[in-house]
Amino acid sequence: MYALASSFFLLALFAARYLSDTDLGYHLKGGQWILENRRFPSTDVYTYTRSSADYLDLHWLYQVLIYSMYRVGGYTSLSLLNIVLVALAFSLTLKRFHMTGAPSWMCALLLLVAVLSCELRFHMRPEILTWILMSLMLYVLEIRSSQKRNVLFLLPLIQVIWTNSEGLFGIGWGVMGFYLVSDLVHSSKINKPLWRYSLLAVASSLLNPYVFRGALLPFTYLATLDAASPFKQSIAEFQSPWSMGSRFTTPELTLLSYKLYFFFLLFLLASTFRKRKLHEFLLVGVFSYLSATTLRNIPLFMLATLPLAATSWKELNWDWLKRFQSSTVSKPAAAWIFILILLGVASRTVTSAQYVSEGRLDRFGLGLDGETQPVHAAEFLVRNQLEGRILNQVNTGGWLDWRRPGQVLIDGRTEVMGEELWVENMASLNPGGLHGLIAKYQPDILFFNPATARQWILDLNKLPDWRLVYLDEAACVFLRKDYAPQIPPLDEDRLLAERGLSKDVSENALSLLREPAPQAWKSFGESFYRPAVHPNGLQRMAVFFHYRGDFQMSEPLFLECIRRSRGVYYDFYFNAGLMYYSSLQYDKCRICMQRVLQDDPGNSGARQILENLGVS
Asked whether residue 472 is assigned to any structural domain, the reply reads: yes
- Are 475 and 514 contained in the same domain? no
- Are 259 and 399 contained in the same domain? no
Is the pLDDT at 248 greater than 60? The verdict is no
- Are 587 and 552 contained in the same domain? yes
Note if the pTM is more than 0.85: yes
SS3 track for 176-188:
HHHHHHHHHHHCC
Which pLDDT belongs to residue 608? 94
CA angle 171, 16, 377 (to 5 degrees): 95
User: Under a CB-based contact definition with an 8 Å cutoff, are residues 27 and 62 in contact?
Assistant: yes
- Residue type (1 letter), 614: G
- Are 439 and 512 contained in the same domain? no
CA distance 24 to 175: 29
Residue 19 DSSP class: B
Axis-axis angle for helices 170-186, 192-204 (nearest 10): 160
How large is the greatest C-alpha to C-alpha distance in the chain, in angstroms?
Answer: 86
Across the range 267-275, mean pLDDT stands at 94
- At residue 328 the predicted structure's pLDDT band, cuts being 50, 70 and 90, is confident
Asked whether residue 585 is assigned to any structural domain, the reply reads: yes
How many residues make up the chain in this entry? 616
Asked whether residue 365 is assigned to any structural domain, the reply reads: no
Across the range 564-580, mean pLDDT stands at 96
441, 463, 490 - which closes a domain: 490
Q: What is the separation of C-alpha 74 from the centre of its chain, rounded to a whole number of angstroms?
A: 21
User: Under a CB-based contact definition with an 8 Å cutoff, are residues 175 and 141 in contact?
Assistant: yes
Which pLDDT belongs to residue 246? 61
- Are 333 and 382 contained in the same domain? no
Q: Report the DSSP beta bridge partners of residue 466.
A: 480
- Are 426 and 448 contained in the same domain? yes
276 in helix, strand or coil?
A: coil
Asked whether residue 226 is assigned to any structural domain, the reply reads: yes
Which of 236-240, 292-296, 562-566 is predicted least confidently? Answer: 236-240
| H/E stretch holding 613 | none
Give the dihedral sign, CA 438/444/449/450: positive
323, 356, 389 - which closes a domain: 356
CA distance 585 to 574: 14
Across the range 141-156, mean pLDDT stands at 86
Domains held by the chain: number: 3
The tens digit of pLDDT for each residue in 412-460 reads 999 899 889 999 999 999 999 999 999 999 999 999 999 999 999 999 9
CA angle 590, 596, 599 (to 5 degrees): 145
- Are 423 and 550 contained in the same domain? no
- Are 336 and 394 contained in the same domain? no
CA angle 268, 271, 275 (to 5 degrees): 95
Neighbouring residues of 483: CB distance < 8 A, sequence distance ≥ 6: 388, 444, 445
The tens digit of pLDDT for each residue in 495-508 reads 999 999 999 887 78
Give the range of the structural domain holding residue 419, as residue numbers without chain letter.
375-490
- Are 172 and 294 contained in the same domain? yes
490, 508, 526 - which closes a domain: 490
Q: Report the DSSP beta bridge partners of residue 364.
A: 17
- Are 381 and 528 contained in the same domain? no
User: Under a CB-based contact definition with an 8 Å cutoff, are residues 7 and 111 in contact?
Assistant: yes
- At residue 583 the predicted structure's pLDDT band, cuts being 50, 70 and 90, is very high
Is the pLDDT at 116 greater than 80? The verdict is yes
Asked whether residue 115 is assigned to any structural domain, the reply reads: yes
CA distance 172 to 150: 18
The tens digit of pLDDT for each residue in 167-223 reads 999 999 999 999 999 999 988 788 899 999 999 999 999 999 999 999 999 888 877
User: Under a CB-based contact definition with an 8 Å cutoff, are residues 75 and 19 in contact?
Assistant: yes
The secondary structure of 234-261 as a DSSP string is H-GGGS-TTS----TT--HHHHHHHHHH
CA distance 470 to 545: 13
Asked whether residue 362 is assigned to any structural domain, the reply reads: no
Residue 325 DSSP class: I
